[in-house]
């Protein structure tokens, strides 16, 4: 029995291509997947744009939220501050009015000082009273005290009194405290030898140095008033 003959089969080459020509991706495969590839690239670009846009939108919303929260916090802080100031005014207004009536708040009323001395002199039946008021000065307080625009000021006052006995001096200083706020610095009493038989004659000379305290703001500058050159240089 003779062996079967060799059978070989060949796939016919497509039209337009010669047999034995290598397969080309650009000419054969690319046209097939071109639309799908374009759709994939466009989808990728759109996805990237959506991600970037979403991030920007989220960041923008977060910034808006932070601004709104900051505005709320600021408004809440201002409301709390206003409420605190209102309570402080309610708490301190009676004390402020009391100190103002006593003469601590405001400018010195030196004419009232004369009335005070005369009133005490008549009430206590004192002898002659002489006084000298020096120029007002601004005091520095240590440690510093928050007093707003008000500054502590004081005037040095020297008072000389003719007294019948020692208690007259203490009564005078006690009565004076009901009218003005002061800080005593020193008091000296000297007994006077007299031969008079008058029971109302004074036997003691007293001299006291004290500081009359007030609190007031600096006066507002007058428009058109001359400016102190030394003060202007000091401020500069």
Q: What is the pLDDT of residues 186-216, one digit of tens each?
A: 999 998 876 666 666 778 899 999 999 888 8
Residue 173 has pLDDT above 90, yes or no: yes
pLDDT digits (tens, 9 = 90+) for 14-30: 555 555 555 565 666 66
Structure tokens at 236: 């500069």
Q: Answer yes or no: are the C-beta atoms of 159 and 210 closer than 8 Å.
A: yes
Average pLDDT over residues 146-165: 85
Sort 83 into a burial class: Cβ within 10 Å, 0-12 / 13-18 / 19+.
exposed
Strand boundaries in the chain, DSSP class E: 129-133, 137-138, 151-163, 182-191, 204-216
Residue with tokens 């500069």: 236
pLDDT digits (tens, 9 = 90+) for 75-133: 888 888 888 888 877 887 788 787 777 777 888 888 888 899 999 999 988 888 999 99
Given this model, what pLDDT does residue 236 score? 36
Structure tokens at 21: 């020509």
Q: Answer yes or no: are the C-beta atoms of 215 and 151 closer than 8 Å.
A: yes
Model confidence, pTM: 0.53
Given this model, what pLDDT does residue 235 score? 37
């Amino acid at each position: 029995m003779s062996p079967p003959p060799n059978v070989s089969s060949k796939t016919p080459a497509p039209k337009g291509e010669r047999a034995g020509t290598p397969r080309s991706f650009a000419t054969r495969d690319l046209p097939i997947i071109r639309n799908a590839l374009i759709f994939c690239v466009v989808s990728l670009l759109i996805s990237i744009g959506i991600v970037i846009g979403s991030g920007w939108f989220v960041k923008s919303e977060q910034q808006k939220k932070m601004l709104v929260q900051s505005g709320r916090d600021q408004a809440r802080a201002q409301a709390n501050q206003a409420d605190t100031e209102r309570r402080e005014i309610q708490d301190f207004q009676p004390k402020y009015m009391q100190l103002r009536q006593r003469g601590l708040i405001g400018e010195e009323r030196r004419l009232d000082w004369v009335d005070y001395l005369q009133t005490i002199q008549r009430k206590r039946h004192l002898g002659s009273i002489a006084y000298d008021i020096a120029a007002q000065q601004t005091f520095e307080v240590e440690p510093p005290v928050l007093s707003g625009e008000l500054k502590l000021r004081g005037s040095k006052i020297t008072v000389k009194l003719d007294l019948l006995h020692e208690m007259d001096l203490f009564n005078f200083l006690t009565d004076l405290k009901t009218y003005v706020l002061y800080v005593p610095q020193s008091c000296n009493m000297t007994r006077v030898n007299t031969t008079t038989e008058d029971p109302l004659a004074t036997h003691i000379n007293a001299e006291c140095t004290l500081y009359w305290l007030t609190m007031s703001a600096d006066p507002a500058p007058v428009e058109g008033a001359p400016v102190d050159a030394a003060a202007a240089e000091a401020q500069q």
